[in-house]
Amino acid sequence: MEGARDRAAQARALTWYGAMLPHFKKPLSFEDFVRPKPARARQSRAELQMMCDALAAAWGAKFKE
């Protein structure tokens, strides 16, 4: 889920930069344009399991106990 959110944020950022580049007085350096984010902490197993359970419930999966 976080990956999808990050891809959507990246798509919005690239769209904004693409629209704004012609309006910049001074061209941006490659590093300023790309500006990588620091690595995020990985999801814990419990968080990952909760997300999978939520998706399964949303898709109508039946849980066996």
CA distance 4 to 47: 16
Task: State the pLDDT at residue 36.
Answer: 59
For 2, 14, 15, 48, 59, the CA distances from 8, given in Å and listed in that order, are 10, 10, 11, 20, 22
Number of domains making up the chain: 1
Q: What SS3 class is residue 40? A: coil
Where in the sequence is the domain holding 35, given as residue range(s)? 2-58
Please, where are the H alpha helices in the chain?
2-20, 30-34, 45-58
39 contacts 55 by C-beta, under 8 angstroms: no
**Is 36 inside a domain boundary?**
yes
**Is 40 inside a domain boundary?**
yes
**Is 63 inside a domain boundary?**
no
**Is 64 inside a domain boundary?**
no
Instruction: Note the pLDDT tens digit of each residue in 13-65.
Output: 888 878 887 887 777 666 766 665 567 788 899 999 999 989 988 998 887 76
Q: pTM for this structure?
A: 0.37
